[in-house]
């Protein structure tokens, strides 16, 4: 048998251990959270048997029902609006030569990623408080507008990436074959852009669904979304009902993220 | 007939200004297989894209049968392109790809079906009609790209290095195939390549380009046998460059004196200087023999065996070097050895005086 | 000729702006515009019940930057500011360091997996990143609270008799932020490690380097851009964190984000809140500019 030093150039001492500990650390709290949502008792630490009682109590809680519907409606409109305008913006910033003011526009589109949420939240509070007084309108419109704005970069980036990865010669080939600009877009660009648009819309949806800070500052009285409702609940005694709501929200997000992962990997 | 007149394309400005095309003038005749040949970055693809409409030239005009092409957007020009990457629409089938141009032109459905069938038969892709373009081989994609560009029956077909992605064997087959298609359809082909062999085998005429300008236009034989300048001679085939001196010129023949003192007739070129010039001689046009009575005496330095032929590297007495290429005969070893004194001879009229 | 090109360019320009307009309008109304108004508010006088009086004043900025020790009644207040500033920076730095210690080996681990497995491991990092921040914070809270899993288990095992107070401490905030922002460290680090050419590491060993020397002299310099990017990506949101310190600090251990909120709630000092939030923004911008500069330099260096 040949002798071997067993030397692996890729190994670094302790790295694998730390990495695996890291993965455990990332998942353990969430797994426990999910597990205790099925607890029969009222504790989030002592297991008293399996039960769906907290799901039932969340389901029957009118506030939770309203917050859920509001969250979904908000996420729907925010992702629809942000994705639509992001598609247009992505077309304007990738299908043309670099132009004056491009970096300013890029910075503006990505502003929600750079500015701390609390700063945006406070700024929106200041502006919308004044607008609410002037107009007397206190509907969901403010939240839709605010969510649409901070979802734009999340929708824009995957769409832009898709456009940049797209072979420009396909569009040239189409116009070489007598397709007018609108036909090129309809017949060539759009069909290939779909995965990017879908990915962008899903990201926007998840981001809107998860938002706490901006919603907390912009919402009018009685406009709780699921996350702000939960934040409010944390001041009280915590029961596994919050775990149950969290688990449902988690399930939606994780499904979306995994779907996003596969959609963004779809054939180019 | 396409007339390109004084076309210049500049990128950038000031110090970074770069001329992709530098005052290019060329006329491409009807029904010819015209090749733009040159190294990468010489401007050949830019010229093609100017004709296709993807690049607006900085100055100059391009007309087709007298009509100004530059006014028209790409989709209104009666030219079609076969792209280097093929640019097949990945979300459409083979048939839908070929039908695309006809649909855009608003042809009746029946006519589209008929033309597409014809085109698929022409490129032997009928069996693959309903495949996705990702499911067919590179050679097949190439043929679909060709059929797609030919389907609208353009007056001119532009081909941008369409064979460069194919392997050697397939490339050989496609060269013959392309030439056949061009002859059968009678469409003018403008073909861009950096491969001299491809250019020589298919073209009616070749334009050799370098640094954004056309260096020489001529038939393949013209270009190979009588390169006008050093760049062309060097880029196409192997060439020996010899210092020479023009003694006299008459009836399209010049008498030159070589470095060794020997005198011989050579072909002149327009625009060459008087006196000291460079003479180009192809390795296969010269022969190796005894030193006595040869044009150029020297010492044999190296013998390199290539299978079909052997290259003899000779150090000339004047200090230059010279390569002679001789075809091999079966089982016959070379009669000379490295270190021998040898002489090089070539017939009158074979040497070509170069413009520098 | 040249006119033709110019007409086409003009048409292109018009299309481009038409396409950009809707996005820019939304962003202006609900992102950039309000920031400008916040800046204006920071120079106004606070109203009695929240809001502002339209009277120019630099008091808000004065309260942010200086410690007023002339007026006794405001002395304590300014002290609180400074300690909150200090806590924010300290906890953010500690979170960043913690994220490097945990994230670097993790990214390295993923980058050294076989190519077809790396996507799976990265997905494991991505999932927490895209799931609700509040829920993740909440999950950690359930773990470390007095009646939480850790204390329950430790007491059941008889290791401790009384629960260890972990929640509502600075430690809790740091752990929470580390937990929620760790993926932001792993993502860019992995991106630069994946491109790492391991023949360089082999060359290092070939030239007698030890594992530590290879790590310090070869791997670390090569992945520095990723390390800087990751550090900024963790530091910036930590500094502006609001939810995590609110949940984990329980209103006892404030960070900048909570201090800002306070001015719009109980504090009823909107101009001060505006000034504080512009200050936070400025610090973040400095960090981002530093990042862009160093990233740009690295690119040239490798170029």
* Contacting residues of A for C138, CB less than 8 Å apart: 33, 230, 234, 242, 246
Instruction: Give pLDDT tens digits for B314-336.
Output: 999 888 899 999 888 877 766 78
Site from B78, B80, B82, B91 to mutate, A interface, most A CB atoms within 10 angstroms: B91
pLDDT of B128 over the 60 cut = yes
Query: Is the pLDDT reported for residue B204 higher than 70?
Result: yes
A158 in reach of chain C (CB within 8 A): no
A190 touches chain B (CB under 8 A): no
Instruction: Give domain status of residue A29, yes or no.
Output: no
Residues 54-83, chain B, touching C (beta carbon < 8 A): 56-61, 70-71
CA dist C184 and C262 (Å) reads: 28
Q: What is the pLDDT of residues C69-108, one digit of tens each?
A: 555 554 545 677 888 889 999 999 999 999 999 999 999 9
Question: What pLDDT, on the 0 to 100 scale, is given for residue C299?
Answer: 47
CB-based contact (8 Å) between A204 and chain C? no
- Within an 8 Å CB–CB cutoff, is residue A175 touching chain B? yes
Chain C touching partners, 3 or more CB pairs below 8 A? A, B
Kindly list the residues from chain C whose CB atom is less than 8 angstroms away from the CB atom of residue A124.
30, 34
**What average pLDDT score do residues B206-227 get?**
92
Contacts of A170 in chain B (CB under 8 A): 87, 89-90
pLDDT of the residue at C208:
80
C108-141 pLDDT, tens digit each: 999 988 888 888 898 899 888 888 889 999 999 9
Closest by Cα among C149, C136, C223 to C182: C136
Q: Which of A67-81, A113-127, A251-265, B309-323 has the lowest mean pLDDT?
A: A251-265
Task: Examine residue A180 and state whether it is found in any structural domain, yes or no.
Answer: yes
- Chain A residues with CB under 8 Å of C197 CB are none
| Contact (CB<8Å) A177/B85 | no
Which of A122, A212, A239 is the best mutation test for C, with the most CBs of C within 10 A?
Answer: A122
pTM to 2 decimal places: 0.80
Answer yes or no: is pLDDT of B293 > 70.
yes
pLDDT at A202 over 80: yes
Tell me the pLDDT tens digit for each residue of A97-147: 666 778 888 888 988 888 999 999 999 999 999 999 899 898 899 999 999
| pLDDT on residue C108 | 93
A181 lies in which domain range? 60-264
Q: What mean pLDDT comes out for the span B195-199?
A: 90
pLDDT at C302 over 50: no
Query: What confidence category does residue A268 fall into, taking pLDDT thresholds of 50, 70 and 90?
Result: very low
Confidence class for position C145, pLDDT limits 50, 70, 90: confident
* Mean pLDDT computed over B192-217: 92
pLDDT of residue C104: 94
Query: What value does the mean pLDDT of chain B take?
Result: 89
Q: Which residues of B touch A186 (CB under 8 A)?
A: none
Are the Cβ atoms of A261 and C126 closer than 8 angstroms? yes
**C242: chain A residues, CB-CB within 8 Å:** 117-118, 121, 213
Q: Looking at residue A98, what is its pLDDT?
A: 67
Separation in Å, CA of A252 to nearest CA in chain B = 30
pLDDT of residue C260: 92
Number of domains in chain A: 1
List chain C domain ranges. 79-302
What was the pLDDT predicted at C301? 39
pLDDT in tens, C169-210: 999 999 999 999 999 999 999 988 888 887 888 888 887 888
Q: Are strands B240-250 and B253-258 parallel, antiparallel or unpaired?
A: antiparallel
B276 pLDDT higher than 80? yes
pLDDT, position C298: 52
| Domain C79-302 falls under CATH 1.25.40.420 | no
A16–B contact, CB cutoff 8 A: no
CATH number, domain of A248, equals 1.10.3720.10
Q: How far is A101 from chain B (nearest CA, A)?
A: 19
More confident: A198 or C299: A198
Please indicate, yes or no, if residue A231 is contained in any of the structural domains: yes
The secondary structure of chain B, three-state, reads: CEEEEEEEEEECCHHHCEEEEEEEEEEECCCCEEEEECCCCCCHHHHHHHHHCCCCCCEEEEEECCEECCCCCHHHCCEEEECCCCCCCCCCEHHHHHHHHHHHCCCCHHHHHHHHHHHHHHCCCHHHCCCEHHHCCHHHHHHHHHHHHHCCCCCEEEEECCCCCCCHHHHHHHHHHHHHHHHHHCCEEEEEECCHHHHHHHCCEEEEEECCEEEEEECHHHHHHCCCEHHHHHHCCCCEEEEEEEEEEECCEEEEEECCCCEEEEECCCCCCCCEEEEEECHHHCEEECCCCCCEEEEEEEEEECCCEEEEEEEECCCCEEEEEEECCCCCCCCCCCCCEEEEECCCCCCEEEEC
Q: Is residue A32 part of a domain?
A: no
ipTM over the 0.90 cut-off: no
Determine, for residues C288 and A30 on separate chains, whether the beta-carbon distance falls below 8 Å: no
Residue A38 domain flag: no
Q: Is residue A8 part of a domain?
A: no
Give the residue-averaged pLDDT of A27-42.
90
Tally C-beta pairs within 8 A across A and C: 255
Residue A97 at interface with chain B, using a CB cutoff of 8 Å: no
Express as a percent the part of chain B with pLDDT over 90: 40
What distance in Å separates residue A188's CA from the closest CA in chain B? 7
Kindly identify which residue of chain A lies nearest to residue B76, measuring between CA atoms.
A178
Q: What is the mean pLDDT of residues A197-212?
A: 91
pLDDT at A1: 47
For residue B60, the chain C residues in CB contact (below 8 A) are 1
């Amino acid at each position: 048998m040949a002798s071997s030093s067993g030397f692996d150039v890729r190994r670094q001492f302790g790295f694998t251990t730390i990495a695996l500990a890291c993965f455990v650390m990332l998942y353990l709290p969430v797994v426990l959270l999910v597990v205790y949502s099925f607890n029969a008792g009222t504790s989030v630490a002592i297991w008293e048997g399996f039960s769906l009682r907290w799901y039932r109590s969340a389901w029957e809680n009118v506030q939770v029902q309203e917050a859920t519907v509001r969250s979904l409606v908000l996420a729907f409109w925010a992702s629809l609006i942000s994705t639509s305008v992001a598609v247009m913006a992505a077309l304007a910033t990738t299908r043309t030569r670099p132009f004056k003011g491009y970096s300013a526009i890029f910075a503006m589109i990505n502003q929600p990623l750079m500015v701390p949420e609390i700063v945006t939240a406070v700024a929106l509070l200041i502006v919308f408080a004044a607008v609410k007084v002037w107009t007397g309108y206190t509907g969901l419109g403010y939240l839709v507008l605010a969510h649409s704005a901070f979802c734009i970069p999340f929708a824009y980036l995957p769409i832009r990436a898709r456009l940049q990865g797209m072979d420009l010669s396909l569009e040239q080939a189409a116009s070489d074959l007598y397709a007018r600009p609108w036909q090129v877009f309809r017949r060539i660009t759009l069909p290939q852009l779909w995965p990017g648009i879908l990915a962008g819309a899903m990201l926007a949806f998840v981001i809107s669904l998860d938002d706490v800070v901006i919603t907390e500052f912009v919402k009018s009285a009685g406009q709780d979304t699921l996350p702000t409702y939960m934040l409010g609940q944390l001041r009280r005694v915590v029961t596994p009902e919050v775990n149950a709501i969290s688990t449902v929200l988690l399930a939606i997000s994780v499904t979306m993220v995994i779907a996003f992962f596969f959609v963004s990997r779809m054939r180019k | 007939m396409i007339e390109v007149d004084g076309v210049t394309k500049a990128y950038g400005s000031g110090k970074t200004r770069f001329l992709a095309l530098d005052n290019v003038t060329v006329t491409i005749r009807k029904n010819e297989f015209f090749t733009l040949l040159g190294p990468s970055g010489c401007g050949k693809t830019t010229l093609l894209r100017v004709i296709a409409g993807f690049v607006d030239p900085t100055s100059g005009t391009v007309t087709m049968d007298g009509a100004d092409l530059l006014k028209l957007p790409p989709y209104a020009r009666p030219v079609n392109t076969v792209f280097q990457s093929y640019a097949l629409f990945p979300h459409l089938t083979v048939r839908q790809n070929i039908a695309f141009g006809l649909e855009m032109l608003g042809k009746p459905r029946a006519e589209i079906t008929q033309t597409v069938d014809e085109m698929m038969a022409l490129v032997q892709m009928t069996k693959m009609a309903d495949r996705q373009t990702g499911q067919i081989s590179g050679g097949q994609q190439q043929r679909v790209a060709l059929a797609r560009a030919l389907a609208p029956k353009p007056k001119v077909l532009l081909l941008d290095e369409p064979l460069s992605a194919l392997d050697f064997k397939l490339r050989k087959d496609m060269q013959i195939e392309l030439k056949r298609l061009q002859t059968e359809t009678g469409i003018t082909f403008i073909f861009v390549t950096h491969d001299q062999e491809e250019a020589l085998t298919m073209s009616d005429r070749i334009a050799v380009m370098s640094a954004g300008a056309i260096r020489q236009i001529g038939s393949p034989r013209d270009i190979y046998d009588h390169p006008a300048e050093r760049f062309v001679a060097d880029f196409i085939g192997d060439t020996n460059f010899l210092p020479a001196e023009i003694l006299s010129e008459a009836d399209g023949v010049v008498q030159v004196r070589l470095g060794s003192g020997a005198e011989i007739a050579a072909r002149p070129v327009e625009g060459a200087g008087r006196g000291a010039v460079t003479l180009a001689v192809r390795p296969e046009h010269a022969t190796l023999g005894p030193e006595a009575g040869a044009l150029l005496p020297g010492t044999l330095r190296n013998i390199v065996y290539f299978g079909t032929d052997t290259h003899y590297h000779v150090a000339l007495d004047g200090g230059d070097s010279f390569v002679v290429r001789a075809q091999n005969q079966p089982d016959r070893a070379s009669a000379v050895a490295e270190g021998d004194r040898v002489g090089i001879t070539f017939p009158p009229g074979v040497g070509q005086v170069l413009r520098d | 000729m040249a006119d033709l090109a110019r007409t086409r360019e003009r048409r292109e320009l018009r299309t481009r702006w038409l396409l950009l307009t809707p996005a820019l309008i939304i962003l202006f109304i609900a992102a950039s515009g309000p920031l400008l108004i916040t800046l204006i508010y920071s120079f106004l006088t606070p109203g009695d019940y929240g809001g502002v009086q339209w009277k120019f004043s630099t008091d808000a900025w004065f309260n942010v930057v200086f410690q007023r020790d002339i007026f006794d009644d405001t002395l304590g207040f300014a002290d609180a500011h400074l300690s909150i500033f200090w806590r924010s920076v300290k906890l953010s730095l500690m979170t960043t360091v913690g994220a490097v210690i945990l994230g670097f080996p993790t990214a390295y681990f993923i980058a050294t997996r076989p190519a077809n497995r790396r996507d799976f491991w990265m997905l494991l990092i991505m999932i927490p990143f895209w799931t609700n921040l509040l829920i993740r914070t909440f999950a950690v809270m359930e773990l470390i609270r007095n009646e939480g899993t850790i204390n329950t288990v430790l007491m059941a095992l008889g290791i401790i008799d009384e629960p260890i107070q972990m929640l509502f401490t600075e430690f809790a905030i740091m752990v929470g932020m580390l937990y929620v922002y760790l993926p932001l460290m792993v993502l860019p680090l992995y991106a630069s490690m994946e491109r790492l050419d391991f023949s360089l590491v082999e060359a290092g060993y070939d030239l007698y380097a030890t594992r530590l020397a290879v790590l310090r002299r070869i791997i670390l310099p090569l992945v520095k851009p990723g390390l800087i990017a990751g550090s900024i990506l963790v530091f910036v949101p930590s500094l502006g964190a609001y939810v995590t310190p609110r949940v984990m600090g329980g209103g006892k251990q404030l960070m900048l984000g909570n201090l800002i909120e306070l001015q719009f709630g109980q504090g009823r000092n909107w101009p001060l809140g505006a000034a504080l939030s512009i200050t936070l923004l400025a610090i973040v911008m400095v960090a981002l500019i530093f990042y862009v500069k160093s990233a740009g330099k690295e690119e040239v260096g490798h170029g």
